[in-house]
Amino acid sequence: MATAAASTRLVPPAQTAAVKAIDVQLTPIATRERELAAKLDRFSVVLNHPFASLHQEEAISIEERLEARAEIDTVRAEHARVELTRRRLEAERQRALDAEKERVRAALHAKKKAAVVKLKARLLVAKDASDELRDVQHEEHTLLGEPFDSLHWQEFGDRLQVWLATARSYGLLDD
CB atoms closer than 10 angstroms to residue 46:
19
Q: Is residue 2 assigned to a domain?
A: no
**Under 8 Å between Cβ of 97 and 13:** yes
**Is 165 a domain residue?**
yes
Which residues, 6 or more positions from 85, have their beta carbon under 8 angstroms from its beta carbon? Answer: 29
Predicted pLDDT of residue 57: 55
What averages of pLDDT result for each successive group of 10 residues across the chain (175 residues)?
A: 56 93 96 95 80 55 83 93 97 96 93 95 94 92 88 86 93 88
Residue 134 is assigned to a structural domain of this protein: yes
Whether residue 3 is contained in a domain is answered as: no
What's the total number of domains in the chain?
Answer: 1
pTM: 0.64
What pLDDT score was predicted for residue 52? 45
pLDDT value of residue 14: 92
CA distances from 82 to 90, 92, 95, 150, 153 (A): 12, 15, 20, 71, 64
Instruction: Give the pLDDT confidence score for residue 56 in this predicted structure.
Output: 55
Q: For residue 150, what pLDDT is reported?
A: 83
What is the domain range of residue 60? 9-169
DSSP readout, 65-80? HHHHHHHHHHHHHHHH
CA atoms within 13 A on the CB side of 40: 14
